[in-house]
């Protein structure tokens, strides 16, 4: 999908309660497919989301990691421990880890970004 077209649809669909007939429309289907399959659309939409939330994504190797770290935090910026939707944690020291959802606070520390392969630790 053309990014310009995607931006138009994003303005119409994003963050809104959409009626059933809109969700079932071809336009909406093409829009949600583009987020998942078109890298330019994904990158733009994710950057927009993080910007609107005031999340500083500039220091991350890629938007995937920035977005997953953003989603790992609650409204106060604290790590949401024990939440099965959280796939990665970042600590203040710049350490990254994958939470093991077994009821304890187990983490697997990782040294490379799972999405783009950049070395994470110093």
Q: Which chain residues interact with Zn ion by CB under 5 A?
A: 61-62, 65, 113, 115-116, 118
| Residue 122 burial (10 A CB sphere; 0-12, 13-18, 19+) | exposed
Smaller CB separation from Zn ion, 34 or 88:
88
Burial class (CB in 10 A: 0-12, 13-18, 19+), 34: buried
Q: Please state the closest distance from residue 71 (CB atom) to Zn ion, in A.
A: 15
The number of C-alpha atoms within 13 Å of 97 and in the hemisphere containing its C-beta is 14
Q: How far is the CB of 60 from Zn ion (least distance, A)?
A: 7
Residue 30 or 64 having the CB closest to Zn ion: 64
As measured in angstroms, the least distance from the Cβ of 30 to Zn ion is: 27
If the CB atoms of residues 82 and 117 are measured against Zn ion, the closer one turns out to be: 117
| DSSP reduced 3-state for 105 | coil
């Amino acid at each position: 999908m053309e990014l310009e077209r995607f931006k138009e649809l994003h303005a119409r669909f994003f963050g809104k309660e959409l009626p059933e007939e809109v969700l079932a429309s071809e336009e909406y289907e093409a829009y949600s497919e583009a987020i998942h399959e078109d890298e330019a659309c994904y990158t733009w939409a994710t950057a927009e989301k993080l910007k609107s939330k005031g999340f500083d994504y500039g220091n991350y190797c890629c938007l995937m990691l920035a977005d997953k770290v953003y989603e790992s935090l609650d409204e106060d910026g604290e790590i949401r421990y024990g939440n099965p939707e959280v796939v990665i944690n970042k600590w203040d020291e710049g350490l990254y880890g994958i939470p093991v959802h077994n009821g304890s606070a187990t983490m697997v520390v990782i040294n490379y970004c799972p999405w783009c392969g950049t070395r994470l630790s110093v």
